[in-house]
Amino acid sequence: METNIALYKYCVRIADTSLILAQRMCEWCGHGPVLEEDIAMSNMGLDLIGQSRGFYSYAAKLEGKGRTEDDIAYFRNEREFLNRCLVEQPNTDFAYTMMRSFLHGCLAYLQFRTLVKSKDETIAGLSEKALKEMTYHVRHASEWIVRMGDGTDVSHEKVKEALGNLWQFTDELFEMDEVDQTLIKSGIACDLSLLRAEWDQMVNEVLAKAKLERPAAGGYQSKGGFNGTHTEHLGHLLSEMQYLPRAYPDAIW
Amino acid sequence: MNTPQIQEDEQTHIDAFNSRISAGQTIEPKDWMPQKYRKQLLRMMSQHAHSEVVGMLPEGNWLTRAPSLMRKAVLLAKIQDEAGHGLYIYSGAETLGTDRAEMIDQLLTGKAKYASIFNYPTLNWADMGAVGWLVDGAAIVNQTALAKCSYGPYSRAMIRICKEENFHSKQGYQIMAHMMRGTKEQQEMAQDAVNRFWWPVLMMFGPSDSDSPNSDDLMKWKVKLYSNDDLRQRFIDRTVPQAEAIGIKIPDDKLKWNPTTRHYEFGEINFDELKSVITGNGPCNKLRMKQRNDAHKNGAWVREAAVAYAEKKAKA
């Protein structure tokens, strides 16, 4: 696989994952459980939009066809989106939202922490900024997981349910293919399999503090989001997100 | 018991308060203030904070449909600012002796009001331009005046908030200018947005001076420095040339520049509409109250969990 083709796809995967999660955070705006959390979720949404813009712009440059970040974000269909399925899962409630941010955030944090040493300078630069952001996102989500897990009976049940239902999207966070292999060889990408042990440790520590039991291995695990096989939720999200540029393709906003 | 001594003390306080106001000094939370001053300020500040929070809803309505990533980021940052303003003004209002939970309860039960403009729907993307440009533009005119008001915490909050509102208004105007340079459909959306928002925005300044029950005291205490009609005129005078510059038509046949007064003359405002919206009968009053109440109700278990966890930790 050519490095540039692999690199394009690698950047779009990261950008899509950040953007789809940002879109979910946008849905909360004005509806948070308390004003401070409304502000926090908007903040995280802004970080994620920023990450996606950086990686899309770089992807567009690598592609060299004169497309922009918006062309890539707004003019692809659900089978062309390469985000991890975890982030497209609906907000459902605050417990699902924080659990989703936590499980994704731990991996994103570890991934960016490795990518700051990437041999590709742009990836390294973008990752440096994203690393600071994900450090906070993980801290914020972890604190809430613990509060909910060790809060009231109601909150414990809710966060337990969220964990149980989102767990099937966790193996997929570590999925790799020839895109990764090509870039790992040239020192650009990070080997996700090497992050698994630390991710497990981060997750286990927080779950223990939250008095939550880690779901048993062996249940169904989804796969293929990063190559365009998604859950039913993504199509709805995209039809809302993309509608204006698609309805008025000649307009510049 | 109203002994002569108490009356005398009371009069000393009033004199000191009045002389501070006339000397242009601010009143601070621990200073003595007349009950009515406290009550009026609490009413204004809590209404203002509620407006910031309810105001997140009509703009939030387009956040997931923003037509570019840049627009999405800018809109999200703007709405986040509004939430921040809400938080800031609630804190300011708390210095008057009522806590945020109580103020929010008054909003959710319909006892407290918020700006009438947020009871209008946002129906196309250009509404994000119109809201930023016109609604935040009107807010700036109001708030620049409030930045000089006599209550210290409110005045200082306004100085900071006005800076952000200026950015909001500019981003709104930039959306409009961009759309007016765009396709025919975009121009129609922009004009449609102004057609719907222009008159409700003029109503944001409140009833005409002759019919503004709270104004006299507020002006005497320098809580309010200019009348509703003065501020409305100021807004019109600065906004009409902006509209002309980008080719937007203001939906008022009577709008005309008067070279003698150096002000725009404008048509009659439908204050009956304002009265209906303020008393709960606008297009989105029920929706906005339901949205706020739902968010509060759905978040109750989260807030309870945070309190329960904090209590456990405090005991441990």
Cross-chain Cβ contact B86/A35 below 8 Å:
yes
Cross-chain Cβ contact A152/B304 below 8 Å:
yes
Tokens representing B38 are: 């406290």
Domains in chain B: boundaries: 15-315
Alpha carbons A48 and A28: distance in angstroms, whole number: 14
Q: How close A76 comes to chain B (CA, Å)?
A: 14
Cross-chain Cβ contact B298/A69 below 8 Å:
no
Point out the residue among A22, A56, A151 whose CB comes nearest to the CB of B306.
Answer: A151
Cross-chain Cβ contact B70/A23 below 8 Å:
no
Query: pLDDT at residue B1 above 70?
Result: no
CA dihedral B45, B51, B54, B59 (to 10 degrees): -140
Judge: domain A3-215+225-246, CATH 3.30.70.100. no
Cross-chain Cβ contact B69/A32 below 8 Å:
no
Residues of A in Cβ contact (< 8 Å) with B72: 22, 26, 49
Cross-chain Cβ contact B295/A253 below 8 Å:
no
Residues of B in Cβ contact (< 8 Å) with A39: 80, 83-84, 87
Alpha carbons A239 and A245: distance in angstroms, whole number: 11
Point out the residue among A39, A50, A69 whose CB comes nearest to the CB of B83.
Answer: A39
Point out the residue among A35, A49, A148 whose CB comes nearest to the CB of B305.
Answer: A148
Per-residue pLDDT of chain A (253 residues; tens, 9 = 90+): 899 999 999 999 999 999 999 999 999 999 999 999 999 999 999 999 999 999 999 999 999 999 999 999 999 999 999 999 999 999 999 999 999 999 999 999 999 999 999 999 999 999 999 999 999 999 999 999 999 999 999 999 999 999 999 999 999 999 999 999 999 999 999 999 999 999 999 999 999 999 999 999 999 999 999 999 999 999 999 999 999 999 999 999 9
Alpha carbons A62 and A73: distance in angstroms, whole number: 15
Q: ipTM beyond 0.95?
A: yes
Domains in chain A: boundaries: 3-215+225-246
Got the DSSP string for B17-52? HHHHHHTTPPB-TTS---HHHHHHHHHHHHHHHHHH
Judge: domain B15-315, CATH 3.20.20.70. no
Point out the residue among B64, B80, B302 whose CB comes nearest to the CB of A241.
Answer: B64
Residues of A in Cβ contact (< 8 Å) with B64: 23, 26-27, 240-241
